Amino acid sequence: MKRKALLTFIAAFTLILAAGQLKDSRLSPVKHAETGAEAFRPPRLAAPAPAAALPETPPAQAQTPKQKGISYATWWSGQYAQPDADLALANLADTGADWISLIVTQYQDNIATTDIYATAATPTDADLIHVITQAHSMGLKVMLKPHLDLAHDPDHWRGEIGEGFTDSEWQAWFSSYQAFISHYADLAAAHNVDQFCVGTELTATEGREANWRTVIAEVRDVYSGPLTYAANHGSENDVTWWDAVDYIGVDAYYPLTNKNDPTLAELLAAWQPIVASLANLAATWNKPILFTEIGYRSQDGTNRRPWDDLTGAIVDLQEQADTYQAAFESVYHQPWLAGMHWWTWRTDPFQGGPCDNGRTPYDKPAEDVLRFWYGAPPRLDRPSPQPDYRQTLEIYTDSLAPGWENQSWHAAVDFFSNDPVYSGAHAVAVNAQAWGALSLSQANVDTTPYRWLEFYLRPSTGEQQFRVFIHDENGAERRHRPLDDCRYTGGQPLQPGVWTRVRLPLSHLEASGRAIQRLSVMNTSAQPASFSLDEIRLVGAAWHIYLPTAVGGRP
Ligand SMILES: [Ca+2]
Ligand SMILES: [Ca+2]
């Protein structure tokens, strides 16, 4: 049980690390000096602007309607097939999107090697088939978009693969690439995938025109749907074989301004030369352009280097919403645009939120911009139920309630600590090793009358990280939730030496309306951690009319 908890966490943690590195890897990290958070402002939901003036050359007419796409990604085997991923996919469909770009990643060791392989992390074919089936059942079309990344080469990125190859190395690499991409083309054909992307951001290989024409011809031998290739922004004008695919694909991470807080007008102005260039490209090839990726973090300065992670930068929900709006206003009605696939949506149904600085728009103002342009109503703005403290199950106030037992692991626990306390005479003081946990058990507790698990938590240092989870009526460990999500901490991050109220919806823990046997607060900071808890309880809701939340509903 303890080992399982640890393995589950390591899997999730590795996934987060891997995902975080991907967009980083194309350039070295950028120091981000500016500070000064913006206050939250609701997103501007202007009416769609008329298309900007186009060049005299008749543009290629893209299909109508546009592909309203979102990239759907995980870098961990098994994740796509989890029930949580189905919830995340339902949330994606709820935005009005009608396409997903399904990501699967294989690897080569470094930019100088020629052997491409799946790792234990690569989503399995069964995972992909699960998503394809689910997506189709939800009315979503699927573009399969295999990616190639570097397993052991953190100073380079995929766009540099092949720099320095000899002729024989080129032949070896393309032979391996052909096997890799044909495998997924076969899968796409067998499972009615609606569109296929033959490559992504392999910039240094794009000059090998004959090799690429061979790759594409062999894909067409087995797959009859539309094809594209995803060129990194800036290299789309150098590709000499766009005639071989059906859409010019661009991963449109164009730098916009050099300001951290540009106005929407400034963002729109920054798009104008990009729009002109893309219109010319489409006209030159008489072929529509698909934004195979476009995306921005909810992070201050995201418009400056949209491909970059700007490590250490602060959350900026408005800048993400503004960059979404500027992109839609600038390109969405251009006749040459075939559609766009926003980067990115994850398999976590509780991703994003107002304190997250990542790329997902979920539960952020950018989601409302996306929904507006994709034709869906805004996020539900329903009243939240309030806690009803007349309806609680006290687990700890100044001592453990009757029936509860200490089942903590790798942790020394004092249930009668008198310094610090949040209230009363005592609190729980915990000294946990890495992956150690405060864990409290009780014969099956019926959670039906309650909506939240609530407690007060006081970390002793700022580096501490925690996850909360329960064991169900069968003793099975359920979904972990991290406490660095401010939706659980009243909008505030946990701070050292400060008591913070944690209020976790039982539904997020897969703990609502059932019997639970145990609840655990695990130290996941990889270092020993001292922390205190007080007033641990289950709390009911004042307005039962709002129970239960629907699938795909908001927390
Ligand atoms: Ca900003
Ligand atoms: Ca107390």
CB 506 within 8 A of CB 478: no
| pLDDT above 50: residue 18 | no
Of all residues in the chain, the percent with pLDDT exceeding 90 is: 81
Structural domain spans, the chain: 57-373, 387-542
Query: Ligand 1 centre from 147 Cα, in Å?
Result: 30
- Ligand having the closest approach to the CA of 263: 1
Dist. CA 340 → ligand 2 center (Å)? 53
Name the closest ligand to CA 418: 2
Report CA(415)–ligand 2 centroid distance (Å): 9
CA of 418 to the centre of ligand 2 (A): 9
In this prediction the pTM is 0.84
Q: Tell me: the pLDDT tens digits for 534-545?
A: 999 999 998 655
Q: How far is the CA of 313 from the centre of ligand 1 (A)?
A: 10
CATH class of 387-542: mainly beta
Q: What is the pLDDT of residues 76-95, one digit of tens each?
A: 999 999 999 999 999 999 99
529 CA from centroid of ligand 2 (Å): 20
Residue 546, pLDDT score: 46
| pLDDT at residue 42 is higher than 50 | no
Q: How far is the CA of 541 from the centre of ligand 2 (A)?
A: 23
Task: Please choose, from the candidates 344, 312, 352, 349, the residue with its C-alpha nearest in 3D space to the C-alpha of residue 487.
Answer: 352
77 Cβ contact list (under 8 Å, min separation 6) = 120, 121, 122, 123, 124, 127
- Compute, in angstroms, the gap from residue 389 CA to the centroid of ligand 1: 40
| Model pLDDT, residue 34 | 28
Neighbours of 291 (CB within 10 A): 28
CA of 456 to the centre of ligand 2 (A): 10
- 259 or 313, greater pLDDT: 259
pLDDT confidence of residue 64? 66
Residue found by looking up tokens 């109503």 in the block: 377
Give residue 97's pLDDT.
98
**d(CA 293, ligand 1 centre) in Å:** 22
pLDDT at 551: 46
374 band by pLDDT with thresholds 50, 70 and 90: very high
HEC string of 286-335 equals CCCEEEEEECCCCECCCCCCCCCCCCCCCECHHHHHHHHHHHHHHHCCCC
The rounded Å distance from CA 401 to ligand 2 centre is 12
Task: Compute, in angstroms, the gap from residue 176 CA to the centroid of ligand 1.
Answer: 43
Where helices occur in 346-435 by DSSP H, the ranges are 365-373
- How high is the pLDDT of residue 27? 34
Asked if residue 298 has pLDDT above 80, the reply is yes
- Point out the least confidently predicted range of 2-6, 48-52, 124-128: 48-52
CA atoms within 13 A on the CB side of 108: 23
Cα 504 to ligand 2 centroid, rounded to whole Å: 19
Pick the ligand that lies closest to the CA of residue 396: 2
Does 492 have pLDDT greater than 80?
Answer: yes
Ligand 1 centre and the CA of 311: distance in Å?
14
The per-residue pLDDT of the chain, averaged, comes to 88
> Binning pLDDT at 50, 70 and 90, where does residue 473 land?
very high
* 309 vs 21: CA distance, rounded Å: 9
Residue 335 pLDDT more than 50?
yes
pLDDT of residue 313: 75
Q: What is the DSSP string of 475-510?
A: S-B---EES--GGGTTT----TT--EEEEEEGGGGT
Ligand nearest to the CA of 400: 2
Residues with CB under 5 A from ligand 2 (ion): 398, 423-424, 534
Whether the bond between 288 and the residue before it is cis, its omega within 30 degrees of 0, is no
Overall average pLDDT of the 1-5 stretch = 41
Of 207, 284, 218, nearest to 240 (Cα)?
Answer: 207
Residue 382's pLDDT is 59
Q: What pairs with residue 102 in β-bridges? A: 72, 144
Residue 392 DSSP SS3: strand
Q: Which ligand is nearest to the CA of 266?
A: 1
Report pLDDT digits (tens) over 429-470.
999 999 999 999 999 999 999 999 999 999 998 889 999 999
Q: Which ligand is nearest to the CA of 499?
A: 2
Rounded to an integer, the average pLDDT of 415-437 is 97
Question: For the domain with range 57-373, which CATH number is right: 3.20.20.80, 2.60.40.420, 1.20.1250.20, 3.30.420.40?
Answer: 3.20.20.80
399 alpha carbon to ligand 2 midpoint, in Å?
8
Q: Between residues 34 and 348, which one has the greater pLDDT?
A: 348
Q: What is the pLDDT of residue 38?
A: 29
Instruction: Quote the ligand 1 centre to 155 CA distance (angstroms).
Output: 28
